[in-house]
Structure 1
């Protein structure tokens, strides 16, 4: 989900959707038998109770600082032209795939939201204030403005925008909780502390040893019941390969001035076009791209998809990236392997990609699947 889609989605509340709680409760005795111990500062809660708390949580306002850290052990790869690079410390929402990043968050209802990604040498902002939506990057001092129809909680996305994924603890928790089923060992602990506040910690451990993921730990604020930290550990590792969480957190209503964005002096200002709903959108270049194939289920799911066509500059950058990766081949064809602590991916020479939190052998099997 892109940063602008965070603001657009009516389902992307500050609480995990009720479907996550239903998934846990549906696990039956597995969840009901697991209860948080009583030695912490919070009263004991079962995992099912915690997920019900999360699904019912309603926070009307909040602000805070979110820090995301990713250490997947990926090889150093060149950036693809037109997609942005390290930027020497400049802040870009497309850079949230490695290293450590800090983001400020302000929320006062679905029509008043601000995200500020802070870099050592710059900042990127997304600001929704009523019918006005702004994005701004200090890297090139460019601002884009959209006018959102009154009463519409959706947020338009600029086609070709370089803004990538901006992850909040709530979104990361939502993705992790979807994986809960009887293949997951679940436990809870009421003794966690996040941003100086007592929290429960929900631990999810895959029972399938083929998964590269060792565990996912989700901290749930003891007062507001919203997820405030998510940590993902690779199998056999004691340090998280990915974590995102609040380092400061407040439910006080932010000052109105926070949402009153004005482009800085000298900024290049562009007017974005509000796209029509997807049901009326015209497919690009004739045919609509086929949906990815899903092979397997749960923690060992593999997605196989056709890569989109690249521009000449993008193709050159992709070839440069592939040159850094080891070549692999088999009955499924040939390609290049990208392997990290949590994720494996194969980019085939015939334009496909297979990706999953699994060893490469399972990707090869998925590519051969018909």
Structure 2
């Protein structure tokens, strides 16, 4: 939480991305009529456990240019773990660490190769012109490999069938299967949501129904979510989220090729290449996951001082940032080895933020097309897919 604006905005944006799979073929197939309730039931009843294919992700959140630099790293994927030489920065960990690498999905277009064989075997590879980054989950083993730096990252997690450890699997926002992605998105479909079937489409050569999900009123910045659902299997194939302000989709993710056959067993095997630098995750997984479970269901598990205000589309994350963690906070001077850095970041924050005042005091609003954040001068961050007025009201209410 040292640089609150990029971290807070990116954190919620990443949680939003976890809602998903865009790229629909032209054509509107003639399919039997179906109600929204029947289509939701079809999604829930889908028992497809094997899948592979190519996914294109395009994210247009309107993030400021300096946010891309917050991830750092010399990898073409912008990971925070390493420099151009492939030798990780001091204290920054491995260039292959998923927490660093997956932030690249917050901007631009990316091609992913995905495969899954049940809850214990998944593989996601992010393919770029010069390199490839792969994340492989096989049983209790998790490997990640960044070809640009020739670095690998290894972790051990409990198997999904282990008694009492179901919650201790890969993060909920792990981009493994589109089924899990769409199901998470549909959790927001409460009383303040309109759900309907809006025609048909062709996605990756498959016939699909289009499910349209829209918030009713409120302060949400989400205009509509459209999910293309495979007519035969009930598997979501495409996910498009459009902001209330209109324009291009903020998140557009979907299959360009898809196969429901069982992937080859070799897909989920990994051995570090010769000469690769391997970083072992030595954290206490049990303690880490216990903290995550206590933090709630928002997709922001593990953050200290996190409180979720409101519900459904109007949810706002309130994050209490420790004194001294924010550049220019009322904690006093920016001293020590980070002082110079803090001043530089503070300058960027000042130029990008909009000054606001209220019962809470004063602070700055930071806006994207989908996610807005308010950081108060006393070091509290309010962030969510809601409009700016909602953030100010939340801060005022917290101030009493």
Same structural fold, with TM-score higher than 0.5 when normalized by the shorter chain: yes
The two structures have a TM-score, normalised by structure 1, of: 0.76
Give the 3-state SS of the residue equivalent to 1:203 in structure 2: strand
Per-residue CA deviations over 1:104-127 (Å, capped at 9, x if unaligned) read 111112222211112233221111
Q: Pick the aligned partner of 1:197 from 199, 206, 209.
A: 206
1:98–1:165 distance in 2 versus 1, CA, 3 Å = farther
1:118–1:323 distance in 2 versus 1, CA, 3 Å = farther
Give the 3-state SS of the residue equivalent to 1:77 in structure 2: helix
Cα displacement (A) at 1:202: 0.7
Per-residue CA deviations over 1:308-343 (Å, capped at 9, x if unaligned) read 647938856743541341241212222222212222
CA RMSD of aligned residues (A): 3.2
Quick one: distance in 2 between partners of 1:72 and 1:121?
25
Quick one: distance in 1 between partners of 2:174 and 2:187?
19
Quick one: distance in 1 between partners of 2:288 and 2:106?
31
Q: Pick the aligned partner of 2:392 from 354, 357, 364.
A: 364
Do 1:106 and 1:113's aligned partners in 2 also have CA atoms closer than 8 Å?
Answer: yes
Do 2:354 and 2:366's aligned partners in 1 also have CA atoms closer than 8 Å?
Answer: no
Quick one: distance in 2 between partners of 1:89 and 1:273?
24
Cα displacement (A) at 1:146: 2.9
1:110–1:220 distance in 2 versus 1, CA, 3 Å = same
Residue matched to 2:311: 297
Greater helix fraction, Structure 1 or Structure 2:
2
Cα displacement (A) at 1:98: 1.0
Q: Pick the aligned partner of 1:328 from 350, 355, 361.
A: 355
Cα displacement (A) at 1:272: 2.4
Q: Pick the aligned partner of 2:31 from 39, 42, 45.
A: 42
> Which stretch of structure 1 is more off in the superposition, 70-79 or 257-266?
70-79
Quick one: distance in 2 between partners of 1:281 and 1:178?
23
1:128–1:181 distance in 2 versus 1, CA, 3 Å = closer
Write out aligned runs for 1:126-165 (5 A). Answer: 126-148=135-157, 152=162, 154-155=168-169
Residue matched to 1:341: 369
1:253–1:194 distance in 2 versus 1, CA, 3 Å = same
Give the 3-state SS of the residue equivalent to 2:229 in structure 1: strand
Listed as ranges, the gaps of 5+ residues in structure 1 are 1-11, 16-38, 158-163
Write out aligned runs for 1:77-96 (5 A). Answer: 77-79=66-68, 83-84=71-72, 87-88=75-76, 92-96=101-105
Residue matched to 2:230: 221
Per-residue CA deviations over 1:203-252 (Å, capped at 9, x if unaligned) read 01222064322111111111221211111111242531211111111011
Query: Given the alignment of the two structures, is residue 277 of structure 1 paired with residue 286 of structure 2, yes or no?
Result: yes
Q: Pick the aligned partner of 1:355 from 353, 358, 383.
A: 383
Q: Pick the aligned partner of 2:320 from 284, 303, 306.
A: 306
Cα displacement (A) at 1:297: 3.1
1:149–1:168 distance in 2 versus 1, CA, 3 Å = closer
Quick one: distance in 2 between partners of 1:264 and 1:316?
41
The two structures have a TM-score, normalised by structure 2, of: 0.71
Cα displacement (A) at 1:79: 4.7
Cα displacement (A) at 1:281: 5.6
Listed as ranges, the gaps of 5+ residues in structure 2 are 1-17, 22-27, 80-100, 293-302, 327-336
Cα displacement (A) at 1:58: 1.0
